[in-house]
Amino acid sequence: MTTPDNSDLFTNPMVEISEMHFAFSERPIFAGLKMAIPRGKVTVIMGPSGCGKSTLLGFIGGRLRPNKGQVFFDGERVPQKSGPPLFTMRRKMGMLFQSSALLTDLSVYENVAFPLREQTDLPEAIIRILVAMKLEMVGLRGARDLMPSELSGGMARRVALARAIVLDPEMIMYDEPFVGLDPISMGVIMKLIRELNDALGLTSIVVTHDVAEGCSIADYVYLLGEGQVAGHGTPEEMLNSEDERVRQFMNGLPDGPVGYHYPADPYLRDISTIE
């Protein structure tokens, strides 16, 4: 694949996607997508709604299979079938879902402890210590006995983050982590993503359409469009890009290469066929 200008970031990428093609039924999503996620950095993936940002995370985690092309994680191809090799690879990944996806019948403590109980044989005393450590990192150790229904949206997102890091993964994927949050909660989540990445030596992939928030925490930014990478670079490079597609998205311009109308037959021809 083509190596970006910042080649020092990509000598040993955590994730590499090569010539990936994929379509839902007859609707193409990716057409020869090439991308590399630098190790130990925060990479933000942006793009208009429906361009495949969240879908991309499904390929990295092995939930989806490309029609053509390859996905590599930590130097190994993501397995094409479920089984022990895929489960072993997933142990190195954490995931923060857009909806937080907390188990509603379990307390905060039990939600964070759940991966440890399912994936390890650790004694309860060690689980208790690990859960307390992760909740302390997100500032919610005092909320361990609360139920998900008692949490604000920002608190739920932080509990989900504690659960995502409880197994000490090498990489965390964040699917629209800022959606539905008030400015203070959003600031807390942004701070946690950046600080946890640096303190724990993680690789972070953040899918978002929030330009200002994404650029404020990113080391590198990808912009998706029309099934491929429309632009990529550091936040500064993207914000100062002269590419019309990049400028339109980064500045939120209504007019530009990305049209307002979904492709359709000419209007007069279309309404003339209505009976």
Helices (H) and strands (E) in the chain, counts: 10, 10
| CA 193 – CA 255 distance, rounded (Å) | 33
Query: What's the pLDDT tens digit per position in 124-160?
Result: 999 999 999 999 999 999 999 999 999 999 999 999 9
202-215 pLDDT, tens digit per residue, is 999 999 989 999 99
DSSP one-letter string for 29-65: EEEEEEEEE-TTSEEEEE-STTSSHHHHHHHHTTSS-
* Residue 172 bridge partners (DSSP): 94, 204
Give the sheet arrangement for strand 228-233, strand by strand: 93-96, 171-175, 203-207, 42-46, 220-225, 228-233
pLDDT tier for residue 179 given thresholds of 50, 70 and 90: confident
* Torsional sign, CA 68, 73, 75, 79: negative
pLDDT at residue 12, rounded to an integer: 87
Give me the pLDDT at residue 267, please. Answer: 72
> In this model, does residue 166 exceed pLDDT 60?
yes
Q: Is the pLDDT of residue 171 over 80?
A: yes
pLDDT digits (tens, 9 = 90+) for 1-48: 344 456 566 788 999 999 999 998 878 899 999 999 999 999 999 988
Give percent of the chain above pLDDT 90.
70
Residue 60, pLDDT above cutoff 70 = yes
pLDDT reported for residue 4: 47
C-beta of residue 233 within 8 angstroms of C-beta of residue 36: no
Alpha-carbon distance values, 266 to 27, 259, 270, 274 (Å): 21, 15, 6, 13
The mean pLDDT of the chain is 89
Q: Do the beta carbons of residue 45 and residue 207 sit within 8 Å?
A: yes
The band of 256, judged by pLDDT with boundaries at 50, 70 and 90, is low
